[in-house]
Chain A
Amino acid sequence: MTTALTATGLTQLYPGGGGIRDVNLTVADQSVTAVIGPNGAGKTVLFSILVGLVTPQSGTVNFASSNPRVAYCPDVPQFEPWLTAFEVVQTSMAVAQRNAMRCSLPNTSDPVGCALQTCGLDRVMHRRIAGFSRGMLQRLGIAAGLVTDPDVLVLDEPNSALDPIGRADVREVIMEQKRHRCILLSSHLLSEVEKLADHIIVINHGRMVASGTTPSILAKGMKPVWTLRLASPTAIDARRFAATLPDVSLRCTSDTMCTLGFSSFEAAHTQLVPALAELHAPILEVSLRDQDLDVSFARILGEEER
């Protein structure tokens, strides 16, 4: 894993409350790192420091590149309303003093057109942005960032105002762009984060409370409980089951929905299949319970509060 940026001991506190304290993080290149946390946790403050908008009270930010190109798309992108989308992206490129962009689209040599087409705004590129919806402004913010061909692309809530199709489009853009650069994003849509992120950082009350790969964050504090959906009601004898597999707890909430709980994942490794066989019922679905980021996130914050 190549490191794109490292932050050490970042602290920025505000008199009215909020901010971050002693945050350390390492962000990998050519990957997506998601920063998640409740409202007011300090995600935007962290991003503001990383992109140079705010000087921290203490701590340092170091980029792998000696002359890093960083692009930032805030959660509420705002542009001068009398400009068209094309002019906004053109201005972005001119101010950043770039003249080229890696374009993966065929038959597109103009970087401004490429950035707009990548973000699905090619049909409205000559429309003034005063009439843009918030979702369109978010896409424009991403396009304005991409056109500068950054080493690090920071996206604050990039899909919060998008419809499901828009979210899918942005997801596709991010998955494509992570091959070329480091992407750091925040989002309250944890289902999206689960699909996009290679690494996750959890922030609460201005402090980092967890970090790791997405699978490790998902597994954090997870209990070895499986949910079963049966095709037909099981005629299982609970006493016989308990006698056969005393370390496995079986609970059925209905005729066809049951849960199997184990003492550990290691125990489940050897006992799950025998437990399923003991049910003597056709099985439609076996899934690990609470294996989604929303539950892991709540679990992590709950443990941190305790």
Chain B
Amino acid sequence: MNFILNSLQVEIRRLTRSGLLAGLLITFAFFGLSGPALALYMPKILATSTKTDQVTMTAADPTPVDGIALFNQSAMQLGLILAVTVAITSLGWDTRPGSSSFYRTRTSHLIGITLPRLGVDWVIVAASHAFALGLAAWQTQAFIGPLSVTYLFRTGIASITYMVMAMNVGYLIMAITRRTATAIAVSTILMLVLPLANNSPATARWSPTALLGAAAGTTDLIGPYLSAGMVFIACLALASWVTARHGLRREA
């Protein structure tokens, strides 16, 4: 069997048999259904839970953009961490001496193992997000109002681009550390902290985190797309180089 085809098959088996694929689909689907629902019921929720003698909070009636924005907020936080974890764990074979030696003694072209697996993860994550976005769009159109296809397309592409870039960042951290828990922890902190770059005018125009604003209507995203692309390629290249240079982990 072809080397690369085998790597693709092994990764598909990992995602399906370990439950990661089901977890991704269910999680994103939940966000897709709950986001518009939350937007729809936000005025009632706030009115009921925050009314006191001194303070009353009200929310404006929801717009279709609110439905998608709330979906994307959850998808690009918890969903993003899940997506990055999928990418990180695709290198799990290199954390154990037995499985690491299994692959490293059979080929010196480890990129034939690692890249197809990561590619499958990109596709599955992108498909999960697109599926959930479709659910969110359907629910929003049914209960809140119509959405333009251009807006949905722009939001989906921006979110998927950011998500795939973040997966590569987590993948690079895993390639360097070869420790799953450490890679997940560091990646999580990075994903939570990076959006702060949007607050600085100097970085906001170019930071990939500006892609997160697509759901809220941000349209000037050329700079963020370019920088996300560069981060994507740089992380992938560096991770491949680091993985090839590693030897067997003695202390594992």
Contacts and interface: CB of A to CB of B under 8 A. Distances in A.
Contact of A83 (B10, B97, B247, B248): B10
B97 A78 contact: yes
Contacts of A93: 1
B107 A78 contact: no
Contacts of A71: 105-106
Given A55-B247, A74-B97, A95-B3, A79 B102 contact: yes
A78 B102 contact: yes
A14 B247 contact: no
Contacts of A95: 3, 6, 103, 106-107, 112-113
A91 interface: yes
A70 B108 CA distance: 12
Interface stretch (B11-19, B43-51, B172-180, B213-221): B11-19
A90 B93 contact: no
B56 interface: no
A87 B13 contact: yes
A78 B98 contact: yes
B150 interface: no
Contact of B6 (A48, A51, A91): A91
- Chain A interface extent, by class: 20 to 34
Contacts, number: 74
A53 interface: yes
A274 interface: no
Contacts of B18: 82
Nearest to A154: B105
A78 B6 contact: no
Contact of A94 (B2, B17, B99): B2
B247 A54 contact: yes
Nearest to A75: B98
Nearest to B110: A95
B102 A92 contact: yes
A51 B13 contact: no
Contacts of A54: 247-248
Interface string B89-102: 00011001111011
B78 to A, nearest CB: 24
Interface string A267-281: 000000000000000
Interface string B1-37: 1110110001001100110000000000000000000
B101 A96 contact: no
Nearest to A53: B248
Most chain B CB within 10 A, of A74, A90, A95, is at A95
A77 interface: yes
B105 A70 contact: yes
Nearest to B107: A95
Interface string A58-99: 000000000000111010111110110001001111111100
A144 B102 contact: yes
A41 to B, nearest CB: 16
A97 B5 CA distance: 12
A55 B108 CA distance: 14
B6 A148 contact: no
A171 B250 CA distance: 29
Contact of B98 (A14, A74, A90, A94): A74
B3 A77 contact: no
A96 B17 contact: no
B37 to A, nearest CB: 35
B104 interface: yes
Interface in B111-166: 112-113
B9 to A, nearest CB: 8
A82 B12 CA distance: 11
A212 interface: no
A96 B98 contact: no
B10 A72 contact: no
B1 A74 contact: no
A52 interface: yes
Contacts of B113: 95
A78 B106 contact: no
A14 B3 CA distance: 35
Contacts of A90: 1, 6
Given A53-B104, A78-B99, A95-B112, 17 more contacts: A52-B104, A54-B248, A71-B105, A74-B97, A74-B101, A78-B98, A79-B99, A80-B10, A80-B14, A80-B92, A87-B10, A90-B1, A92-B102, A94-B2, A95-B107, A96-B107, A128-B17
6 contacts: A71-B105, A83-B10, A94-B1, A94-B2, A94-B6, A95-B103
Interface of A: 14, 48, 51-55, 70-72, 74, 76-80, 82-83, 87, 90-97, 128, 144, 148
